[in-house]
Amino acid sequence: MSTDDTKTMIRLEGVSKTYPGTTVPAVSDLDLEIPEGEILVLVGPSGCGKSTTLRLINRMIEPSSGRIIFDGEDVTSVDADKLRRRIGYVIQQIGLFPHLTIKANIATVPKLLGWSNDRIESRVDELLDLVGMDPGQYRDRFPKELSGGQAQRVGVARALAADPPVMLMDEPFGAIDPITRDRLQNEFLRVQEELKKTIVFVTHDIDEAIKMGDRIAVLGEQSRIAQFDTPERILAFPVDDFVSDFIGSGATLKGLNLERVRDIKLDDFPRVASGSPRREVQAAMETTPDGWAMVVDEGERPLRWVHRSDLERTDKPLVEVGQPIDTIEQNATLRDALELMLHSSTACATVVDKDQAYVGVIRMTTLNERIEEMQHDARVHYDELSRQVSA
Ligand code: ADP
Ligand code: MG
């Protein structure tokens, strides 16, 4: 299970945990290497010991046997409080303190560390910005005044507060609707690209594992590692029936979770400003096969899809006809893009930059070509492997 060129940040050696009053271990003889600066996903069925494993890493619970090596140092018996300050933790049920403001929630660890008020305040605002929430608007609110997605963002901000090198995330996006979850996953990946934290990310959802993980450990009962590999290799070469059952059908669709929008060719789509005269809009529609135009604002931000027939029906302003445009950013996955296409009347996915300004569109035909390439690559890869095995 060596991790080629990357350094190991945390190593578990023969770690076991049997909870008091039970006889069967929740985690049994686990050896695990957590690579520095990557997201390692622990994925497995409910009850297999994922949460227990995370709690063992930051010593919220004590192992019954085994050793934990953190950055070269045996931390199996150091002061657990000190250890925890080097490790951010996002728990399964968000767990914001309901009686504290958002600011006070995020400031929990910096306060423990004795930071000055000024430093805490600027850190809180910086983190709210980072997770996409306006500090002025949210800093002084209470958790019950947030949506589920916002509470999750604050949970992530709180774990990042003291800039720990390691983050443990226990099903952090579990309890929210699929669209918000997708958005949070993408935002988090963008943040991680900058921060390069060492992250252990727990989920029971294989799609989430494939999307988020640099590496994945597929766990069976008692946290036994069934396979430890890159997402690509787990999809292409599941080691046994347990892993392939867990992956389930539709490996190609799952493979779309591995590819980013920024890696695919974008097409251009005719745009018209929201204040354009009708004649101009109609001219733009003539250049597209299906008679659609994309209406944008002064900042080139996509507003609405307007069809030729919309203009024939009414003379309302452009921003009041047609349909709103859903958009994705460059770090979204091709799976997200497909999702968007299936819900868009134009069958293309509109790509925007960080400021929500138009970048291009992905057409269904382009995505199809990419899928065919992926299937071809997988076949070649598979043939090679079969040849090695039979040689
Ligand atoms: P997962 O997070 O993968 O769903 P857990 O680590 O929470 O699994 O639980 C693993 C096993 O340990 C389960 O059988 C669970 O019932 C048991 N378990 C978890 N926490 C405790 C506890 N505090 N006391 C006794 N048994 C526990
Ligand atoms: Mg759990």
State phi, psi for 154 to the nearest 5 degrees: -65, -40
Least confident piece of the model among 210-219, 222-231, 311-320: 311-320
- In angstroms, what is the span from residue 19 Cα to ligand 2's centroid? 15
Return the amino acid letter for 368. N
pLDDT (0 to 100) of residue 1: 44
Ligand at minimal distance from the CA of 53 is 1
**Helix, strand, coil % over all residues of the chain, rounded to 5:** 40, 25, 35
Domain at 8-259, CATH from 1.20.120.790, 3.40.50.300, 3.40.50.10470, 3.10.180.10: 3.40.50.300
Longest CA–CA span in the chain (Å) reads: 78
Say which CATH topology domain 263-364 has: CBS-domain (3.10.580)
pLDDT tens, position by position, 126-141: 999 888 899 999 999 9
Q: Which ligand is nearest to the CA of 42?
A: 1
Residue 3: predicted pLDDT: 45
Please write the tens of the pLDDT for every residue from 126-179.
Answer: 999 888 899 999 999 999 999 888 888 898 899 889 889 999 999 988 877 777
Q: Fold identical between 8-259 and 263-364?
A: no
Most confidently modeled of 29-33, 192-196, 312-316?
Answer: 29-33
Residues with CB under 5 A from ligand 2 (ion): 51
Mutate to test the pocket of ligand 1, among 28, 42, 51, 206 (most ligand atoms within 8 A of CB): 51
* pTM, to two decimals: 0.74
Share of the chain above pLDDT 70, in %: 94
Strands 323-324, 302-307: parallel, antiparallel or unpaired by DSSP?
antiparallel
Distance from C-alpha of 225 to C-alpha of 228, rounded to nearest angstrom: 7
Going by alpha carbons, the residue nearest to atom 27 of ligand 1 is: 19
Helical (H) or strand (E) element with 39: strand 39-43
* Residue ranges around ligand 1 (CB below 6 Å): 19, 22, 26, 46-52
For ligand 2, the distance from its centroid to the CA atom of residue 53, given in whole angstroms, is 9
Instruction: Band the pLDDT of 93: cuts 50, 70, 90.
Output: low
Any idea where the domains of the chain sit in the sequence? 8-259, 263-364
Angstrom distances, CA of residue 363 to CA of 69, 283, 288: 49, 22, 13
CA of 204 from ligand 2 middle (Å) equals 8
| Residue to substitute in 52, 202, 205 for testing ligand 1 pocket (most ligand atoms within 8 angstroms of CB) | 52
Specify the DSSP class assigned to residue 286: H
Kindly give the pairing relationship between strand 73-74 and strand 87-90.
unpaired
